[in-house]
Amino acid sequence: MDKLILHQVECFCRIGVPAAERKRRQKIWMDLAFELDLRPAVAMDQPGFALDYCVLEGEVRALAEKKPCRLMETLAETVAMDILKRRPAVKAVCVRVTKKPKVMPKTGSVCVEIRRCREGYPDL
């Protein structure tokens, strides 16, 4: 299956386990890989046959910034399920959420990655 990838979508979210960490928005990044058949877009070379990258990016950012989460896992799941709900052409999606935790100054970043797919599509 083909993939469309959005790399390092920057969002400012209220995320973290301690309430103090959720008081201020903090920068996170999301990488998203959409598994779908890109042949129709390739054959027609027309935007109407492809996913609109700008729209996808805006939807993902708006959803991520909408409501606070304690866990990056929850954010990744919420985004993945929303994509599958809104985009029938997407057969599976991989969402990676990355942040630089202030409570771990000697760690470059922490990432959570999940992959969700439609029923009947191979769950690798």
**Residue 12 within any structural domain of the chain:** yes
Q: How many domains does the chain have?
A: 1
Cα 95–71–104 angle (5° rounding)? 100
**Residue 123 within any structural domain of the chain:** no
**Residue 104 within any structural domain of the chain:** yes
- pLDDT, tens only, 99-110: 998 778 999 999
Banded model confidence at residue 18, pLDDT cuts 50, 70, 90: confident
Q: Has residue 85 got a pLDDT over 80? A: yes
Q: Could you tell me the residue range of the domain that residue 29 belongs to?
A: 2-117
Q: Has residue 58 got a pLDDT over 90? A: yes
Sign of the alpha-carbon dihedral angle for 64, 65, 69, 71: positive
Q: Which CATH number belongs to the domain containing residue 46 in this structure?
A: 3.30.1130.10
**Residue 62 within any structural domain of the chain:** yes
105: left (phi over 0), alpha (psi -120 to 50) or beta: alpha
- pLDDT, tens only, 35-57: 999 999 999 999 888 999 999 99
Cα 79–83–87 angle (5° rounding)? 175
**Residue 20 within any structural domain of the chain:** yes
* pLDDT for position 65: 96
**Residue 122 within any structural domain of the chain:** no
* pLDDT for position 83: 97
Record the tokens describing residue 17, joined without a space: 């386990």
Q: Which residue do the tokens 């989460």 mark?
A: 69
Percent of the chain with pLDDT over 90: 81
DSSP 8-state symbol, 17: S
